[in-house]
Every structure is written in structure tokens, then in C-alpha cells.
């Protein structure tokens, strides 16, 4: 399916505006975001997690999509930030079967996949002093 034909959702869109899982994912990704500034090869990162590089979404520096189940895709969008705003990592969801998965499961899979991003950062930056979160996964 062409990228522009796919509708992307946040967990709040899927579960409702008071989604506890959206808060859980937002917090977990916020802790992991600074480590992703060390990614030098987005294509290698995508390959490492079994995903694909995408066009950036909403002003991000890079985006990687990973199909976690048939018809269920997580889109990670990283923005490096600037002097005014810190770096950020967002997760958006899409796919033909996105409405068949519970928010709790999607949150758990998202955080697990984000941990894979950190493993890539750790393995691709030997000898570099990385954020502490890289050594906790």
C-alpha cells in the first residue's frame, strides 16, 4: 500500500483520549529518544529490526516502519530537536488489521521494539559513551 494511502494512528486515537497505554508508550519512548541521536545509518537500523526506512512523517528526521503482525505496523518517527525543543521519538500505528489488537499488547510490543532500536545503537557505536538507557536493554 502506498505510504500516503495509509492512515496512521496514535494509541490515543485507537483507545480514546484517556488511554493509559499512550502515556506508558510516550514515557518509555521519551527516555529512549536521546540515544537515537547516535544513529548514523538509518537503513542499517531498519534492517536490524526487520523494518523499512520511510519518508519522514510530521517533520521528523527519520522514520522506520516495522510490521509486528500481518497487517499491523509500528512507525517510529525520530526528531533530533534543536536548541528550543529536545529530541523525540514517536510511535504511530497503521495497517489493515490495526483495529484487531488491544492497546495493552500494542504498547508492550512498541516498547520491546524500541529496545531493539537501543540495542542497535549500542552495537553500532563501540567505544562510545552512550546514554545509560542503552545499557539497560
The DSSP result for 15-47, as a single string, is H-TT-HHHHHHHHHHHHHGGGGGG---HHHHHH
Instruction: Tell me the pLDDT band of 4, cut-offs 50, 70 and 90.
Output: very low
135 pLDDT above the threshold of 50 = yes
> Do the strands 72-79 and 52-54 form a parallel or antiparallel pair, or are they unpaired?
unpaired
Kindly report the number of other CB atoms within 10 A of residue 5's CB atom.
6
Q: What angle do CA 121, 4, 28 make, to 5 degrees?
A: 35
- Model confidence pLDDT, tens digit, residues 69-96: 999 999 999 999 887 888 999 999 999 9
Confidence (pTM): 0.90
pLDDT at residue number 77: 95
* First-to-final CA distance of the chain: 33
- Ordered by start, the domain boundaries in the chain are 3-135
Instruction: Tell me the pLDDT band of 3, cut-offs 50, 70 and 90.
Output: very low
Instruction: Tell me the pLDDT band of 17, cut-offs 50, 70 and 90.
Output: confident
Ramachandran class of 54: left when φ > 0, alpha when ψ lies in -120 to 50, beta otherwise:
beta
Number of helical (H) and strand (E) elements in the chain, helices listed first: 4, 4
Instruction: Tell me the pLDDT band of 16, cut-offs 50, 70 and 90.
Output: confident
Q: Which helix (H) or strand (E) holds 49?
A: helix 42-49
Amino acid at each position: 500500500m502506498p505510504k500516503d494511502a495509509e492512515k496512521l494512528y496514535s494509541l490515543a486515537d485507537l483507545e480514546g483520549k484517556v488511554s493509559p497505554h499512550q502515556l506508558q508508550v510516550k514515557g518509555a519512548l521519551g527516555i529512549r529518544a536521546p540515544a537515537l541521536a547516535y544513529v548514523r545509518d538509518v537503513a542499517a537500523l531498519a534492517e536490524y529490526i526487520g523494518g523499512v526506512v520511510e519518508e519522514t512523517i510530521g517533520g521528523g528526521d527519520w522514520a522506520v516502519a516495522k510490521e509486528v503482525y500481518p497487517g499491523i505496523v509500528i512507525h517510529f518517527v525520530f526528531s533530533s530537536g534543536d536548541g528550543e525543543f529536545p529530541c523525540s521519538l514517536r510511535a504511530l500505528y497503521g495497517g489493515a488489521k490495526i483495529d484487531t489488537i488491544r492497546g495493552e499488547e500494542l504498547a508492550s510490543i512498541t516498547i520491546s521494539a524500541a529496545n531493539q532500536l537501543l540495542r542497535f545503537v549500542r552495537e553500532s557505536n563501540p567505544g562510545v559513551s552512550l546514554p545509560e538507557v542503552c545499557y539497560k536493554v
